[in-house]
Amino acid sequence: MTDVPSKRPAFEPAAELLKPTTYDPDMQRPPSTVAGVVLVLLRVVAGIIVMIATVLQWPTVVRDLDVSFDDVEATPQLAGVALIVLMVVLGSFLLLDAILAFFILAGHNWARVIVMTFSAIAISSSFVQWWAEGQEITITTTLLTLGLDILILLALSSRSAAAYARRHERG
């Protein structure tokens, strides 16, 4: 006899995967949850860096931005307003992401699911842009955020992260 634990199969029956988690309100926070929160906060930092880079290159971005509406002439002022609106929306999403990270750390399942959904949408949109529009995935474009989103999905979808987030539920 050896002390080597038995390996899990490469695939498991759906019934096994769908079993409810055990009720354990005293469960310690698993490393996968902490790693997921750190990755979400890194995604927020990456977004802030993009915002700062955009603000520092403001005149070039406004000059290159093509904003046009029906019967409205595209002016630099209109492009500047559109860019400000874009920054406010991006800042709001980053703030929401940071708030959700702290809710995940506290063990709220709904926050974990929302963040995983955002990550799945971001990964899918990167794929669609690559597939349909031929956008390259490089370090200077979407590789960093794509990698973070994939790692977030892996960390937060782990069994331990799910069990921690659902530890108060009675099966």
Which one is predicted more confidently, 98 or 73?
Answer: 98
Helix (H, G, I), strand (E, B) or coil at 135: coil
The pLDDT, as a whole number, for residue 169 is 78
Encoding tokens for residue 54?
A: 């955009």
The pLDDT, as a whole number, for residue 141 is 73
| pLDDT surpasses 70 at 2 | no
| pLDDT surpasses 70 at 74 | no
Other Cβ atoms closer than 10 A to 116:
19
Show the domain range for 152: 29-165
pLDDT in tens, 120-145: 999 999 899 888 888 888 777 778 88
Q: If you average pLDDT over every residue of the chain, what do you get?
A: 84
User: Would 171 be classed as within a structural domain?
Assistant: no
C-alpha of 127 from chain center: 15
Tell me the H-state helices in the chain. 14-17, 31-56, 58-64, 76-106, 109-133, 143-156, 159-165
User: In this structure, are residues 129 and 135 in contact, taking their beta carbons and an 8 Å threshold?
Assistant: yes
- pTM score: 0.80
User: In this structure, are residues 112 and 156 in contact, taking their beta carbons and an 8 Å threshold?
Assistant: yes
User: Would 5 be classed as within a structural domain?
Assistant: no
User: Would 129 be classed as within a structural domain?
Assistant: yes
| pLDDT surpasses 90 at 63 | no
User: Would 54 be classed as within a structural domain?
Assistant: yes
User: Would 159 be classed as within a structural domain?
Assistant: yes
Q: At what angle do helices 31-56 and 76-106 cross, to 10 degrees?
A: 170
User: Would 39 be classed as within a structural domain?
Assistant: yes
User: Would 140 be classed as within a structural domain?
Assistant: yes
The structural domain count of the chain equals 1
| pLDDT surpasses 70 at 17 | no
| Closest-CA residue to 44 (of 100, 109, 88) | 100
Encoding tokens for residue 145?
A: 């955020």
User: Would 80 be classed as within a structural domain?
Assistant: yes
Tell me the H-state helices in 57-107. 58-64, 76-106
